[in-house]
Amino acid sequence: MNNSSQLALNVRLNINSTFENFFCADLEANKIGLKALKQNQEKFIYLLGSSGSGVSHLLQAVCNDSNYKGERSVYIPLSEVSKEDPEIVFDGMDQFDCVCLDDLDAVIHRDNWQLEIFNLFNSIKLHDNRLVIGSHKNITNFNLTFLDLESRLKSFLSIGLTSLDDSQLIGFFSHQAKLKGMRISHGVAEFILNRVERKTHQMISILNILDEQSLEKTKMITIPFVKEALNL
């Protein structure tokens, strides 16, 4: 097993991140882009969004969907491997049908990473595979020294995501709860939202805790129950 395959195995893919439970503020505006993600219409896609906007969720949803179809995929959050040699990280990536890179902005300022991402692009294109990249920054904000990489990235289909406001976060929370068969009132959702980190992955983690404890204790999800379950 090569080093990149070992790195891939060490990254935990969240199997609960799917297209079905994705929720974003501008769903209608991104309808075409999201369809391209689902149907593999585009080989090269750039997901742009601030923290908590759903970029990581969608990247993992792409991998989960690819795996479900019997393909080989890999999800690599670059912030977690930023201290590694990029040549080693990307070694053997051509064996995967779909490569998803998260947190591009964590490494793109380094020349060695720019070169290896450029080489990765060429390798994936040669093998007619797929590359989906997620970042918190627009390509034009990177001030790349490797201009050939900049031109490659600008050729990607770009999908922009925006963070959810309070009402949308409550909508997201209620949507996820419904998918789990849970009943959570607007008041309880608002209570939770005002006391935890306002990120979608955090919301999902909280729902998992509440779901598990409500089943164990056979209790309704009320504010007193939430206080006890989450130690608030």
Does the structure show a pLDDT above 60 at 175?
A: yes
Do 29 and 43 belong together in one domain?
A: yes
Identity at 206, one-letter amino acid code = I
Residue 89 CB partners (closer than 8 Å, separation 6+): 3, 4, 7, 76, 81, 116
Final residue belonging to a domain, choices 102, 130, 161: 161
Classify residue 72 as exposed, middle or buried by CB count within 10 Å of its CB (0-12, 13-18, 19+): middle
For residues 54 and 145, give the distance between their C-alpha atoms in angstroms, rounded to a whole number.
Answer: 29
Look up the domain containing 223 and give its range: 166-230
The mean pLDDT of the chain is 86
For residues 202 and 163, give the distance between their C-alpha atoms in angstroms, rounded to a whole number.
Answer: 14
Domain harbouring 97, CATH code? 3.40.50.300
Do 192 and 121 belong together in one domain?
A: no
User: By percentage, how much of the chain surpasses pLDDT 90?
Assistant: 47
Do 27 and 129 belong together in one domain?
A: yes
pLDDT value of residue 161: 84
Do 137 and 186 belong together in one domain?
A: no
Across 45-59, 85-99, 159-173, least confident range:
159-173
* More confident: 93 or 16: 93
Rounded to two decimals, the pTM is 0.81
pLDDT value of residue 67: 92
Do 155 and 171 belong together in one domain?
A: no
Do 92 and 197 belong together in one domain?
A: no
User: What's the structural domain count of the chain?
Assistant: 2
pLDDT value of residue 163: 75
Do 124 and 219 belong together in one domain?
A: no
For residues 161 and 51, give the distance between their C-alpha atoms in angstroms, rounded to a whole number.
Answer: 10
> Could you read off the pLDDT of 4-19 as tens digits, one per residue?
444 554 567 888 788 8
Do 191 and 83 belong together in one domain?
A: no
Do 119 and 151 belong together in one domain?
A: yes
Final residue belonging to a domain, choices 105, 131, 161: 161
For residues 86 and 13, give the distance between their C-alpha atoms in angstroms, rounded to a whole number.
Answer: 20
pLDDT value of residue 160: 87
Final residue belonging to a domain, choices 139, 161, 183: 161
Domain harbouring 222, CATH code? 1.10.8
> Could you read off the pLDDT of 28-72 as tens digits, one per residue?
666 777 788 888 778 999 999 888 788 998 999 999 999 999 999
pLDDT value of residue 21: 78
Query: What confidence tier does 144 reach under pLDDT thresholds 50, 70, 90?
Result: very high
For residues 177 and 161, give the distance between their C-alpha atoms in angstroms, rounded to a whole number.
Answer: 22
pLDDT value of residue 25: 62
